[in-house]
Structure 1
Amino acid sequence: MTYQAHKERYDRMQYNRCGRSGLLLPAISLGLWHNFGGVDTYENGRSMLRRAFDLGITHFDLANNYGPPPGSAEEMFGSLLKKDFAPYRDELIISSKAGYRMWDGPYGEWGSKKYLIASLDQSLKRMGLDYVDIFYSHRPDPDTPMEETIGALDQIVRQGKALYAGISSYSAPQTREAAEIAERLGTPILIHQPKYSMFDRWIEDGLQDALEENGIGSIAFCPLAQGLLTNKYLSGIPENSRAAKSTGALDESEVTPEVVQKLQQLNTMAADRGQSLAQMALAWALHQGRLTSVLIGASRVSQIEENVAALEKLDFQRDELDAIEDILN
């Protein structure tokens, strides 16, 4: 059956301005890091993308190495874009990245101009696109001059292969340096994608200020701490969870009795607010992280629906924020 997007898809979603730019991003975006690869069920991925767009999620976030195998998430997305979303391309924000190992030899990872431009060309081919909306340097390269990495992003934008340039996992000093180079070249950094959640708050130590000073937006990945901030771990580690499988995304050693106790206390707070733990964690990240958007992952449609419902209650009372700090500390 031909897909037709829901007519009221923009009614419930909140859209936030990304830094000092003209671009608005949905408060909740969908990442294709997991569950959209070649080893995953195609129709499940298709259902999740359709439902996400029907709920007003216009931003789909990918990277060259998402899968597994690497590249297969972009291939799946490209197929679904052609089948379902081609009529809606101008309503979508599609992003990709390069920085982690993608192919053999000295040019298959990090931040050289050679790698970044070659990788984006491959990503565009996999997705069947002429351009992506945002292209990121996926991680800072300690051995390549910042001028080369940011210069490659500038060249990519000027060539029309991306509309905007982004960075991911750069520290506050690295972000300031990248922003200065980008401004000088004439292609400002649009957005930074850091890891951030109740259990990983490193951006509060300077990065938030660096972003605001330079007019850069932000979108947090892992705002639910790889599923830790959901109802999965309230009684410890369940079978078939990421921690139980030791996939590297969430290690069993991270789910300590102390962490479980904190999760239980947070879950009680969330229930008092009329939310699930995941919904409160997303609302808190958007509030406390001063973020443009949070980047969720999903393995089924119901998770997307639950996460989007977090937008129904984003405000916190002062005593609620204080209570959360007491639990986390």
Structure 2
Amino acid sequence: MTYEPAADRYEKMTYRRAGRSGLKLPAISLGLWHNFGDGRPWDRQREIVLRAFDLGVTHFDLANNYGPPAGSAESNFGRMLAADLRAHRDELVISTKAGYHMWNGPYGEWGSRKYLVSSLDQSLRRLGLDYVDVFYHHRPDPDTPVEETMGALDAVVRSGKALYVGISNYSSEQTAEAARVLRDLGTPLLIHQPSYSILNRWTERDNLLDTLEEAGAGCIAFSPLQQGLLTDRYLGGIPDDSRVRTSVFLNESDLDARTMGRIHALNDIAGRRGQSLAQLALAWALRDPRMTSLIIGASSVGQLENNIAALDNASLSKEEIDEIDATVLDL
């Protein structure tokens, strides 16, 4: 059956401008990091992606190594583009990244021009696209000059393989230098993708949003739900199929008594607001207008819908923000 997107999809979503650019992103974007590899049913993946688009999610975030196996998320999303979304390509913002290990040998990771251009070419083949909207350098390279890495990002824009460029996991100081090099090259930095959540405040300590504002760039946070900690997933214990059991990014030590006490206290705040814990966490992460978007994952349509519903009650009072800070920070 031919897919027809919801006619009212753009009435359901809030859009925010990325820095001083002309590009707007949905306040919540869909990331294809964990649940879109070959180990997950393709029909379920397709259902989530199409429902996201029906709800006004126009931005789909990928990377070369997303899966598993690496590359499979791009291939699976490429199938969805070909089968359902090709007619809507100009309504979509599709991003991908390169920086982590992708293939063997000295040219398969980090930040050389050789690796970045080769990786993007591979990503485009898997996606079945002529260009992506945003191409990110996924992590700083301690050995490659920033001029080479940013020069590669500039080159892929000039070649037509990407419309905009971004960086991810860069410190504030590294971000300022990257933005300066890109500005001098004539391809401004569009956006930075850091980790950020109620429990993960490094961007605040590093003044990253101030640096991005000065550079005219936006910010899009990943892991705003702290790998599922800021959901109801662990309120009653550790499920056997949870990321604590199955992922290298979260382990049982992350759920110590102190952390769980904070999570239960945050859940109480969410309950008083008539929200789930996840919805509170997303509303909190969007409280600064300089935060362009948040990247969420989803393993089901219901989870996706619940998280996007955070936008129905996204305003936090100063008193609520202060209470959240008192709950999680050593004030």
How many residues are treated as equivalent by the alignment?
A: 328
- The Cα shift of 1:315 comes to 0.9
Task: Kindly state the Cα deviation for residue 64 of structure 1 after the two structures are TM-superposed.
Answer: 0.3
SS at match of 2:259: helix
- Secondary structure, counterpart of 1:170 in structure 2: coil
Shift of 1:290: 3.6
One-letter amino acid of the counterpart of residue 83, structure 1: A
2:223–2:296: 8 Å Cα contact kept in structure 1? yes
The residue that corresponds to 2:193 in the other structure is 193
Could you tell me which residue of structure 1 aligns to residue 227 of structure 2? 226
Q: How far did 1:289 drift?
A: 8.0
CA distance in 2, matches of 1:290, 1:215: 10
Measured after TM superposition, the shift of residue 125 of structure 1 is 0.4
Please tell me whether residue 310 in structure 1 is matched to residue 290 in structure 2.
Answer: no
Alpha-carbon contact 2:213-2:290 (below 8 Å) kept? no
After TM superposition, the structure 1 stretch with the greater mean CA deviation from structure 2, 260-269 or 222-231, is 260-269
1:31 corresponds to: 31
* Moved segments of 4+, more than 4 Å: none
Q: Distance in 1 between matches of 2:318 and 2:34?
A: 35
Q: Which consecutive unaligned segments of at least 5 residues does structure 1 have?
A: none
Deviation sequence 1:150-205 (CA, Å, 0-9, x none): 00000000000000010000000000000000000000000000000011111112
Distance in 2, Cα, partners of 1:7 & 1:214: 36
SS in 2 for 1:148: helix
Tell me, in whole angstroms, the C-alpha distance in 2 between the residues paired with 1:231 and 1:239: 15
Q: Report what 1:260 is aligned to.
A: 260
* Cα offset, 1:319, TM superposition: 1.0
CA shift digits 1:7-27 (9 cap, x unpaired): 000111000000010000000
Q: Are 2:19 and 2:290, in contact at CA under 8 Å, matched by a contact in 1?
A: no
Rounded to whole Å, the distance in 2 between the matches of 1:307 and 1:15 is 16
**1:119 Cα deviation after fit:** 0.2
**TM-score normalised to structure 1 length:** 0.98
User: CA contact under 8 A between 1:208 and 1:289: conserved in structure 2?
Assistant: no
In structure 2, list runs of 5 or more residues that go unmatched: none
Q: How far does the alpha carbon of each residue in 1:91-148 deviate from its partner, in whole angstroms, 9 at most, with x for none?
A: 0000000000000000000000000000000000001000000000000000000000
CA distance in 2, matches of 1:87, 1:285: 33
> How far apart, CA to CA, are the structure 2 residues paired with 1:21 and 1:74?
26
Q: Deviations over 1:49-87 (max 9, x none)?
A: 010000000000000000000000000000010000001
CA distance in 1 between counterparts of 2:154 and 2:290 reads 26
> 2:106 aligns to what?
106
Alignment-derived partner of residue 49 in structure 2: 49
Aligned to 2:217: 216
CA displacement, residues 206-235 of structure 1 (integer Å, 9 cap, x when unaligned) = 211100111110100000000000001113
Let me know the Cα RMSD of the aligned residues: 0.8
CA distance, structure 2, for counterparts of residue 109 and residue 321 of structure 1: 40
**What are the within-5 Å matches in structure 2 for residues 1-329 of structure 1?**
1-205=1-205, 206-245=207-246, 247-288=247-288, 290-329=290-329
One-letter amino acid of the counterpart of residue 155, structure 1: A
Rounded to whole Å, the distance in 2 between the matches of 1:56 and 1:195 is: 23
Could you give the per-residue CA deviations for residues 219-277 of structure 1, whole angstroms, max 9, x where no partner exists?
Answer: 000000000000011133222111123x2121111001111111111111101111100
Q: Distance in 1 between matches of 2:111 and 2:237?
A: 39
CA distance, structure 2, for counterparts of residue 325 and residue 83 of structure 1: 46
State the 1:41 CA deviation: 0.7
Q: Is the 8 A contact 1:134 1:163 kept in 2?
A: yes
Counterpart CA distance in 1 for 2:237 and 2:282 is: 21
